[in-house]
Amino acid sequence: MSWTEERVETLKKMWGEGQSASQIAKELGGVTRNAVIGKVHRLGLSNRATSTTAKTAKEKPAAKAEAPAKPAPKPKAEPKAEKPAAAAPATTPAVRKQIIPAGQPLPPQPSANEISPEALATVREVEKGAKKLSLMELTERTCKWPIGDPATDEFWFCGLSVQQGKPYCEAHVGVAFQPMSSRRDRRR
């Protein structure tokens, strides 16, 4: 894979959105996160605002004798005000997956309760390759999705790598965290 105009654009866009290098790499495909990071640096767009090390640039012990050949014109016109407060939704902490075109492409919205057949298929597939861990073998990052019947010895936990921050692997997160089950009419 080479850095075509289009791919670079995607890179810039995603990087700008705060996506991690690995996410970008995954999106682009054919490249590793290292490649992405390398490209990011070569393109000059580096420091975002957040990351580890918080800039290896140290603290500049000396004064800020910074004024090479660029008086810092700062032609960057911010189209958006950086006001987190104001009328912020409050329920919008960070940009998770802002890959929504905002157009109208939101076709097959399943009826809020069914699990897409693909998801189920994926789950079944994943469960075939489950690590089949016992309760004691579960760790912070092993999928805790139970498989089988606890009353049988045909019982174990998925055990695959969890999706960071979640208790389950990607496949199981998919079926575990449904949008919103329409089970409010549990009248009686």
Partner DNA sequence: CCCTGATTCGC
Partner DNA sequence: GCGAATCAGG
Binding site for DNA (CB under 7 A): 1-3, 19-23, 31-35, 37-42, 46-47, 51-54, 56-57, 141, 161, 164
Burial class (CB in 10 A: 0-12, 13-18, 19+), 172: buried
User: Of 115, 106, 140, 99, whose CA–CA distance to 13 is shortest?
Assistant: 99
Q: How far is the CB of 166 from DNA (least distance, A)?
A: 12
Beta strands 155-157 and 146-148, pairing class: antiparallel
Kindly tell me which of 21 and 133 has the beta carbon lying closer to DNA. 21
Q: How far is the CB of 97 from DNA (least distance, A)?
A: 13
Q: How far is the CB of 160 from DNA (least distance, A)?
A: 10
Distances in whole angstroms, Cα of residue 183 to Cα of each of 107, 117, 119, 129, 178 = 24, 20, 21, 32, 12
Sign, Cα dihedral of 17, 22, 23, 29: positive
Amino acid of residue 103: G
Q: How far is the CB of 132 from DNA (least distance, A)?
A: 17
Question: Rounded to whole angstroms, how far apart are CA atoms 125 and 114?
Answer: 18
Kindly tell me which of 34 and 182 has the beta carbon lying closer to DNA. 34
Kindly tell me which of 66 and 185 has the beta carbon lying closer to DNA. 66
Kindly tell me which of 18 and 148 has the beta carbon lying closer to DNA. 18
